[in-house]
């Protein structure tokens, strides 16, 4: 896609936003439900069940025992237009990303480990986070892309309320590692327009070994089912931009280590063969992957092509364009 500066300023994202039904959170703002969700989310932070680890820690008082290392304030690494996301998100003006520091997973091959496991970033309050959202809208981005949001749902909801009162009208993208609790997803129902979960593994034993998360496969399937129930298949507008729906990411690992076939079969049988899927081909060893014999090499072109053929064999045709 190409557009000149004037087209970006009067972007289709904002043209569509004139509808009272889009983005979804505008309706919850008008009827008071969004404010109620914020209050409920803050209460849940005191006995935290906002990700699938269910640590039950009062994160408003302590960080002891908290895997996400995040208390009452979110920690943000940075924000800005991102042109490397999936086609329906980046468009021509970029996806408006906010990168949250820390993560509720501990992937040994994380390519952003400085952010997710070292925690580089600055604490921000909801007012500052709302200002970031509005800045991204002012800069012409097509959406607000919340990267690694599972552990900061209350903070996101509070910021969305403040930003919506000040005129935010971009759809929210919930860009998650897929280890989300159903309790958190219930708070987000009617707030998030576009869910973009990872489906990292098709079995929990591998997930436990390489991401230190128990029951990942079972949790991940339940989360994706709920996300799809809320928003359905991905809907694009006449410009090819995502308006609402589910977009799934799966990073293909060397040696079929991620059980890609199981992930694809689940999507085709239990979600929809119309699922928009990004089969990611960019795996290369990072962080602690060099210490793992099965992960200390890059993905081959043949392995990736096999994964794409498996997707087609399962009837999955909406595949994002590969990076190579």
Q: What is the pLDDT of residue 13?
A: 43
Domain 15-313 fold: TIM Barrel (3.20.20)
Question: Whole-prediction pTM value?
Answer: 0.93
Q: How far is CA 74 from the centre of its chain?
A: 16
Q: What residue spans define the domains of the chain?
A: 15-313
Give the pLDDT confidence of 257-287 residue by residue, as tens digits: 999 999 999 999 999 999 999 999 999 999 9
Give the pLDDT confidence of 48-88 residue by residue, as tens digits: 999 999 999 999 999 877 899 999 999 999 999 999 999 99
Cα–Cα distances (Å) from 155 to 93, 145, 166, 177, 213, in that order, read: 26, 15, 17, 18, 23
Q: How are beta strands 144-147 and 194-197 bridged, if at all?
A: unpaired
Q: Does 12 score more than 90 pLDDT? A: no
Residues 297-320 have a mean pLDDT of 97
Q: Is 119 within 8 Å of 68 (Cβ atoms)?
A: no
Confidence of residue 317 (pLDDT cuts 50, 70, 90): very high
Task: Give, rounded to a whole angstrom, the gap between the first and last alpha carbons of the chain.
Answer: 19
Confidence of residue 100 (pLDDT cuts 50, 70, 90): very high
Tokens 């998650």 belong to 176
Q: Tell me the DSSP string of 91-127.
A: TTT-EEEEEES--S---TT-TTHHHHTS--SEEE-HH
Q: Please tell me what DSSP assigns to residue 294.
A: T
Chain mean pLDDT for the chain = 92
Show the tokens assigned to 34: 């969004």
Q: How are beta strands 122-124 and 74-82 bridged, if at all?
A: antiparallel
Residue 92: which of 14, 7, 194, 175 has the closest Cα? Answer: 7
> In the chain, helix, strand, coil percent, each to 5?
40, 15, 45
**What residues contact 239, with CB distance under 8 A and at least 6 apart?**
1, 12, 91
28-73-189 Cα angle (round to 5): 25
Query: 82: which strand partners?
Result: 95
């Amino acid at each position: 896609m190409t557009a000149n500066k004037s087209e970006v300023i009067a972007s289709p994202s904002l043209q569509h936003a004139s509808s009272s039904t889009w983005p979804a959170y505008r309706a919850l703002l008008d009827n008071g439900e969004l404010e109620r969700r914020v209050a409920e989310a803050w209460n849940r932070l005191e006995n935290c069940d906002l990700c699938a680890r269910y640590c039950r820690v009062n994160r408003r008082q302590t960080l002891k025992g908290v895997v996400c290392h995040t208390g009452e304030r979110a920690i943000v690494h940075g924000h800005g237009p991102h042109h490397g996301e999936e086609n329906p998100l980046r468009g021509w003006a970029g996806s408006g990303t906010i990168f949250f520091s820390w993560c509720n997973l501990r992937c040994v091959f994380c390519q952003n480990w400085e952010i997710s496991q070292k925690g580089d970033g600055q604490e921000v309050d909801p007012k500052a986070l709302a200002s970031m959202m509005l800045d991204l809208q002012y800069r012409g981005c097509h959406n607000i892309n919340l990267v690694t949001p599972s552990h900061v749902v209350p903070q996101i909801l509070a910021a969305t309320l403040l930003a919506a009162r000040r005129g935010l009208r971009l759809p929210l993208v919930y860009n998650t590692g897929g280890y989300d609790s159903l309790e958190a997803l219930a708070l987000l129902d009617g707030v998030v327009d576009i869910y973009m979960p990872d489906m990292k593994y098709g079995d929990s034993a591998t997930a436990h070994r390489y991401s230190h998360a128990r029951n990942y496969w079972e949790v991940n399937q339940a989360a994706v089912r709920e996300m799809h129930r809320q928003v359905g298949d991905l809907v694009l507008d006449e410009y090819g931009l995502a308006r609402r729906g589910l977009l799934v990411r799966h990073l293909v690992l060397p040696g079929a280590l991620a059980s890609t076939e199981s992930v694809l079969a689940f999507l085709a049988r239990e979600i929809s063969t119309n699922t928009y899927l990004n089969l990611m081909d960019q795996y290369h060893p990072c962080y602690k992957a060099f210490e793992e014999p099965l992960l200390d090499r890059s993905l081959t072109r043949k392995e990736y092509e096999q994964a794409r053929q498996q997707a087609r064999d399962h009837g999955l045709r909406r595949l994002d364009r590969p990076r190579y």
